[in-house]
């Protein structure tokens, strides 16, 4: 390797050492080891170090075509030490602020979606439900009033029919009674269905 390539490799590995320190702090911040099972922590640690190794090797491949030297490990160690002593506290503050800002931004968008999309749909559904219930009550009241009016209007007809019924011979009444009983049963079933439907609506 030329001197320029070696210098670039040293600087790149120092940077990767600092990157490794920042990545490790970020990883520990989100992992929360005390709240995780040991086997989950173990698997995450293995995956973390595999990913970091691949990233470092990729950078090394770009800088000096992947040639390993002893000073590369020293450069990574120096970069990590520089991060720990100079940049760690600053990075942790920036990380916490970034997390706080991301959480606040997420909550803002959740509230925005709720009050601009979900809440209007809920209100519209409630209005439609109340309107449907009002129309149903109005229709039921109209049917009840209509039934009472028809009942009053047909009272003379009923009285005349009763008088005619009394004048019918007895041997004709039996088949007519069966027909009327059948019709009365149908009307009773319809009324029961209507009452049960009204109770469910309430």
What is the pLDDT at residue 199?
66
- For residue 22, what are its two tokens? 């920042």
Residue 112 has pLDDT above 60, yes or no: yes
What is the domain partition of the chain in residue ranges? Answer: 3-102, 154-202
Judge whether 79 and 11 are in contact, CB under 8 Å. no
Residue 114 has pLDDT above 80, yes or no: yes
Region 16-34 average pLDDT: 87
φ/ψ of residue 14, rounded to 5: -65, -45
The tens digit of pLDDT for each residue in 163-182 reads 665 666 666 656 666 776 77
| Sequence-ordered list of residues with C-beta below 8 angstroms from that of 31, at least 6 positions apart, any chain | 41, 44
Q: Where do we find the tokens 């009050």? A: 115
Please report, to the nearest 10 degrees, the dihedral formed by the alpha carbons of residues 86, 92, 93, 97 taken in order. 150
* Rounded CA separation 182/161 (Å): 18
What is the pLDDT at residue 106?
93
């Amino acid at each position: 390797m030329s001197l320029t390539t070696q210098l670039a490799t040293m600087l790149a590995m120092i940077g990767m050492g600092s990157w490794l320190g920042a990545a490790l702090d970020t990883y520990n911040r989100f992992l929360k080891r005390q709240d995780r099972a040991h086997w989950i922590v173990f698997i995450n640690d293995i995956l973390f170090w595999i990913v970091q190794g691949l990233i470092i090797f990729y950078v090394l491949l770009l800088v000096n075509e992947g040639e390993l030297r002893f000073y590369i490990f020293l450069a990574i160690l120096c970069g990590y030490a520089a991060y720990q002593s100079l940049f760690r506290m600053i990075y942790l503050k920036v990380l916490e602020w970034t997390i706080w800002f991301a959480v606040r931004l997420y909550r803002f968008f959740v509230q925005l979606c709720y009050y601009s999309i979900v809440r209007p749909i809920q209100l519209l559904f409630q209005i439609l439900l109340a309107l449907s219930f009002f129309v149903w009550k109005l229709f039921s009241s109209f049917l009840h009033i209509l039934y009472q009016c028809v009942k009053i209007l047909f009272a003379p007809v009923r009285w005349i029919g009763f008088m005619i019924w009394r004048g019918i011979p007895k041997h004709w009444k039996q088949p007519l009674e069966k027909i009327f009983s059948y019709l009365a049963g149908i009307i009773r079933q319809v009324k029961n269905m209507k009452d049960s439907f009204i109770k469910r609506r309430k």
